[in-house]
A and B are shown apart, each in its own frame.
Chain A
Amino acid sequence: MRITDKDVSYIADLANLELTAQERQHMVKDLDSILSYIDKLNELDTSDVPPMAQLAAAGENAVTDSKSIPASREDQLRPCLPRTEAMQNAPATDGQFFKVPKVIER
Chain B
Amino acid sequence: MDTPVLTIPAIVSAIGDRKLSAAELVTAFYKKIKAEDGEIHAYLTLCEDRALEQARNIDALASRGDTLPPLAGVPMGIKDVMVTRGIRTTAGSRILENFVPPYTCTAVERLEAAGAIVLGKLNCDEFAMGSSNENSAYGSVRNPRDKSRVPGGSSGGSAAAVAAGTAVATLGSDTGGSIRQPASFCGVVGLMPTYGRVSRYGLIAFASSLDHIGPLARTVEDAAILLSVIAGHDPMDSTSANVPVPDYRTELQKPVKGLRLGVPKEYFGEGLDSEVRSAVEAAIQKLAAQGTEIVPVSLPHTGYAIPTYYVIATAEASANLARYDGVRYGYRSKSAKTLAEMYRKTRDEAFGAEVKRRIILGTYALSSGYYDAYYLKAQKVRTLLARDFQQAFTKVDAVITPTAPTPAFKLGEKSADPLAMYLADVYTVTADLAGIPGISVPCGQSTGGLPIGLQVLGRHFDESTVLRIANSIFS
Contact = CB atoms under 8 A, between A and B. Distances in A.
Interface of A: 7-8, 11-12, 14-20, 23, 26-27, 30-31, 33-35, 37-44, 46, 49-53, 55-56, 58-61, 63-64, 67-73, 81, 85-86, 88-92, 98, 100-103
A16 B344 contact: yes
Interface residue tally on B, bucketed by range: 35 or more
Interface of B: 98-100, 102-103, 195-196, 209, 233, 235, 238-243, 301, 303-304, 306-308, 310-311, 318, 322, 325-332, 336-345, 347-348, 351, 353, 356-357, 359-361, 363-364, 367, 374, 376-384, 386, 389-390, 393-394, 418-419, 422, 434-435, 459-461
A74 B304 CA distance: 41
B390 A38 contact: no
B338 A101 contact: yes
A24 B175 CA distance: 27
Contact of A15 (B241, B339, B363): B363
A61 B418 contact: no
Contact of A101 (B306, B339, B422): B339
A69 B243 CA distance: 8
A7 B360 CA distance: 10
B363 A68 contact: no
19 contacts: A18-B344, A20-B348, A31-B357, A38-B310, A38-B311, A44-B381, A44-B384, A51-B380, A56-B195, A56-B196, A56-B241, A58-B435, A60-B460, A61-B460, A67-B242, A69-B240, A91-B327, A91-B331, A101-B341
Nearest to A60: B390
Contact of B243 (A23, A41, A53, A68): A68
B379 A53 contact: yes
Nearest to B364: A11
A89 B99 contact: yes
B52 to A, nearest CB: 25
A61 B461 contact: yes
Contacts of B329: 89-90
A80 to B, nearest CB: 11
B332 A38 contact: no
Contacts of A64: 196, 241, 243, 460-461
Contacts of B351: 17
Contacts of B310: 34, 38
A88 to B, nearest CB: 7
A44 B385 CA distance: 12
A98 B328 contact: yes
Contacts of B344: 16-18
A54 B357 CA distance: 26
B360 A70 contact: no
Contacts of B379: 51-53
B356 A49 contact: no
Given A14-B363, A37-B307, A90-B329, 12 more contacts: A18-B347, A19-B348, A30-B418, A34-B418, A41-B311, A51-B382, A60-B390, A63-B461, A64-B460, A68-B243, A89-B102, A91-B330
Contact of B357 (A27, A50, A69, A85): A27
Contacts of A49: 380-381, 383-384
